[in-house]
Structure 1
């Protein structure tokens, strides 16, 4: 499969199908940016890069009641969902616009916080992205905050007969497709190195690990959306056109995700790397 241009952010394998937006709309500042919340002040201006449907942007806004949150994404469809979500919630200090994350339409040093959740791993030039995020963060104390996925663990796993073994095939497929287009799914562990390459002082970087854990009802919801991604998303098209998988194989993955989500003893965990990069110049 041909990869996207090295500075493009439009390499997100899943695309912005209904299944993807449905899953992303469940994200909140509390569940996905808890590591950032203690650093916020009421008057902060926040930029949420790759905001998707805006659920994190909208739930960050109450933490800066005297400030403002701006969400940007390359997808007009996702931005429209974000605008509607904020309107429905009655949140006034948040706005959205389409933008290229590698050429942000803001002056140097505009924002107190520049945030990205699950974005760096989906671009072929992560250092370039972090460098651009750093540019629009305020000097002498501005923050760039990123949270990126890493190791995936599920049980029952490939050591047993059943859907967990089929999901191991999905994991291998996803890793192969992502790396073939020049992106790295295991980005969480690499955040400090990437930040230093982007120009941050190593002494001004703090890193930690978080987790996304699913079981019972949350697992069922998670698996249902991933089942749809196998057969009803841009991932489907890319897998077939790139000859990574047949439709039959993707349908088997769809079935495995659904079956896994219904198992009484199943659970799923995704380790997250979380980093605060502070600009010191």
Structure 2
């Protein structure tokens, strides 16, 4: 399978989690290179909050958001309708096979927390390279989930929950440590060929509470999938509730932010 099947963009808990992301919190490292007339593809756009933000800073350009399932794309379309966002479109698309887009089509190809869920992230980066215009940018921001930089309050139940999450992504063939491999993968794809350039920065990725995933249908799905027992889920929910009640709480991972300029022909 190309994707981690448990994390589905149309699930309410996942939509809420990813819906907190904006251009300022998620791709500030890229913004200085964006010009008002650029064409941008946002891969793995989810509910479209980052995508819509990008459309506002390219008023003379065009932004397309793609994600792998129809329900999340329909949600993004209804949240950011064309009359209010005339240069923004959404479409179903697979990061591993962006066949609807021609070679050298976009000024910027952007992905945030996408490669961690893919079994073949290099294949996706090859597609990003193919559809990026020569001299233009592929930008990816990915966490390294094996390196927790800060957890406050540092609750054993939350660490157990995260250990299980990491194990699940590993079992499904994902790459929870994608942020630590970005430069290596970009080099393999050939971004340094023909005068291309790779710039990597290692920083912090702050996660919001995961409480929504511990309740309702999301919790039931996790139990049915064998990710946790009902007792474990109750313990994790209580821990996240304590996390939410704690002043100055934080859940911080190492993250990699990479900018890749495609070489000229």
TM-score of the pair, normalised by structure 2: 0.90
Q: Deviations over 1:240-263 (max 9, x none)?
A: 345342122112112211111102
Partner of 1:185: 176
Partner of 2:104: 109
Of 150, 163, 170, 1:172 maps to 163
Is 202-211 or 117-126 further displaced after alignment?
202-211
Partner of 1:15: 8
Q: Deviations over 1:3-56 (max 9, x none)?
A: xx2xx23x2532131111112122111110100101111111000001001110
| SS of residue matched to 1:97 | strand
Counterpart Cα distance in 1 of 2:229 and 2:218 = 14
In structure 2, the gaps of 5 or more residues are none
Partner of 2:19: 25
Q: Deviations over 1:186-221 (max 9, x none)?
A: 11111100111222218610011232347xxxxxxx
After TM superposition, give the deviation of residue 266 of structure 1 in Å: 3.1
Do 1:58 and 1:86's aligned partners in 2 also have CA atoms closer than 8 Å? yes
Do 1:200 and 1:279's aligned partners in 2 also have CA atoms closer than 8 Å? yes
Partner of 1:230: 214
**2:201 paired with 1:208:** yes
Q: Deviations over 1:55-99 (max 9, x none)?
A: 100000121111000000112111112112222992211100111
Do 1:41 and 1:64's aligned partners in 2 also have CA atoms closer than 8 Å? yes
User: CA RMSD, aligned part only?
Assistant: 2.0
| SS of residue matched to 1:43 | coil
Of 107, 110, 121, 1:126 maps to 121
Counterpart Cα distance in 1 of 2:130 and 2:20 = 30
**2:126 paired with 1:142:** no
**2:72 paired with 1:78:** yes
In structure 1, the gaps of 5 or more residues are 158-163, 215-221
| SS of residue matched to 1:81 | helix
Partner of 1:160: none
Partner of 2:152: 155
Counterpart Cα distance in 2 of 1:45 and 1:277 = 16
Distance change (3 Å), C-alpha of 1:165 and 1:88: farther
**2:265 paired with 1:277:** no
Distance change (3 Å), C-alpha of 1:156 and 1:34: same
Distance change (3 Å), C-alpha of 1:52 and 1:121: same
What is the aligned residue count? 257
**2:252 paired with 1:252:** no
Q: Deviations over 1:255-279 (max 9, x none)?
A: 2111111023532223321000111
Do 1:14 and 1:233's aligned partners in 2 also have CA atoms closer than 8 Å? no
Do 2:82 and 2:88's aligned partners in 1 also have CA atoms closer than 8 Å? no
| SS of residue matched to 1:142 | strand
